[in-house]
Amino acid sequence: MKKIQISPSILSADFSQLGNEIKKLENGGADMVHVDVMDGHYVPNLTIGPPVIKSLRKHTKLKFDVHLMIAPVHKYIEDYAEAGADIITIHPEATDSLQDSINKIKELKKKVGISLNPETKIEIIEKFLNQIDLVLIMSVNPGFGGQKFMPEVLEKVKKLKTVRENNKFNYDIEIDGGINFENSKSAIEAGANILVSGTTIFKNNDGDIKKNIELLKSA
């Protein structure tokens, strides 16, 4: 069984204090930092780009788990790699050639993630599962924070776990969207080993990040 890891989403952090917020995550026991990149095109929202990631890189040794919700994504992969991303996760719909984009991320010596929206079928990425490091299952529609968790996606998590075991693959299964103390247990039981959470980590228990991370891990 893979170790349960927590990847707090800085989308819920205080953007005027991002360097300090990331330090708090590191001190609070976060395993990595989840960076949501949105372009206002692939998803209806805009967030941060490579210059912000580059400026944050010096504040922590934690891995940067960068989720690119941008299209077309291929031409921007190198920018995010150079900015300090450790894991680069892309959507299959956002590239003309998923194989080329996977190859590009690998050439840049970064870990490869593929993200599936709630309506995207696993079959689209099955032939790539032996090449990648992570599958990110979206448990909300991407683009906005604060949405409600969609429990129906847990069937995809279960299937991915079975495929991994049957084929002796080694990818992590990450889940992102509305993850809280109530549903984290079912996500872990289904097979997710990396939980992305924003509001729950930064806002619950008067912002006690360490406590909130521990509560999510021990669900």
CATH of the domain at 46: 3.20.20.70
- Which range marks the domain in which residue 43 is found? 5-217
* Mean per-residue pLDDT over the chain, rounded: 95
- Distance from the Cα of residue 179 to its chain's centroid: 12
pLDDT tier for residue 146 given thresholds of 50, 70 and 90: low
Query: How far does CA 144 lie from the centroid of its chain?
Result: 14
Which of 40-44, 111-115, 127-131 shows the lowest per-residue confidence on average (mean pLDDT)?
Answer: 40-44
Residue 218: pLDDT band (50, 70, 90) is confident
Supply the pLDDT for residue 145: 62
| 207/122 Cα distance (integer angstroms) | 36
What is the count of structural domains for the chain? 1
Q: Please tell me the predicted confidence (pLDDT) of residue 44.
A: 83
pLDDT digits (tens, 9 = 90+) for 3-31: 999 999 999 999 999 999 999 999 999 99
In angstroms, rounded to a whole number, what is the distance separating the alpha carbons of residues 192 and 156? 10
Residue with more model confidence, 158 or 2: 158
Compute the distance between CA of residue 53 and CA of residue 152 in angstroms, rounded to an integer. 33
The pLDDT assigned to 77 comes to 98
The catalytic residue positions are 36, 176
How remote is the C-alpha of 58 from its chain's centroid?
21
**For the whole model, what pTM was predicted?**
0.96
